[in-house]
Structure 1
């Protein structure tokens, strides 16, 4: 994938895609705002999916804001990520954080995922 677009190829779309990540996750990055889990894919690019429960973030406006921020951060950093399928799972209280805090958490998570993937490749 070239450029900074966010086409359908960069998204986890089907329940099968999500269950693949949940069943075979190899990389995890946890923080106070959420959890990123990932598994290698056979594609040449990363893909992203979200699990933001109503129980964790009550209003749709908040869930959509969080997805928009993470998606944008992902879009700008996708060229640095390895070929993995990533699922973000929100934690309670993430909707109370400002956009900058969520963006910093995402950048930190992408960096950690990259390190874990490189370490797994070298083994």
Structure 2
């Protein structure tokens, strides 16, 4: 059975890492309830950051459930992802979805993000 860990090296830990994604998000994937922002990194693995605001998901148990499912979907898809830093932002209504709907939604968004990352990687670089 394949092992897919989610170690500390696969997390965005510092505010500067989040800021670099927000400032230079070249990859975006979204639905009404969630937004994925990403940018290529210089590491050998993708990294994940979460922004699940109390303003959009009021109850702590719902925020924790959503974070757990996002981390699990990332853990299972990480071997297919390019070296990107991704920040997941929750929007209103995300807590209304069932666990199965969340897994499906996040799976679609990871796939969409990877397709965009592949397209970005295949673009010729402009060195002016």
Q: Please give the per-residue CA displacement for 1:74-117, whole angstroms capped at 9, x wherever unaligned.
A: 10110000000000000101111100111111110111111101
Aligned match of 2:108: 108
Structure 1 residue 35, shift from structure 2 partner = 0.2
Aligned match of 2:64: 64
1:119 aligns with 2:119: yes
Structure 1 residue 68, shift from structure 2 partner = 0.1
Structure showing greater Rg: 2
Structure 1 residue 71, shift from structure 2 partner = 0.4
Aligned match of 1:97: 97
Aligned match of 2:88: 88
CA contact (8 A) 1:33 1:102 kept: no
Q: Structure 1, unaligned stretches of length 5 or more?
A: none
Q: Please give the per-residue CA displacement for 1:19-56, whole angstroms capped at 9, x wherever unaligned.
A: 01000110000102200000000001100001111110
Q: Distance in 1 between matches of 2:121 and 2:69?
A: 29
Normalised TM-score (structure 2)? 0.92
CA contact (8 A) 1:33 1:105 kept: no
Aligned match of 1:26: 26
Q: Distance in 1 between matches of 2:49 and 2:3?
A: 20
CA RMSD of aligned residues (A): 1.0
Structure 1 residue 3, shift from structure 2 partner = 2.9
Question: How many equivalent residue pairs?
Answer: 122
Q: Structure 2, unaligned stretches of length 5 or more?
A: 124-128
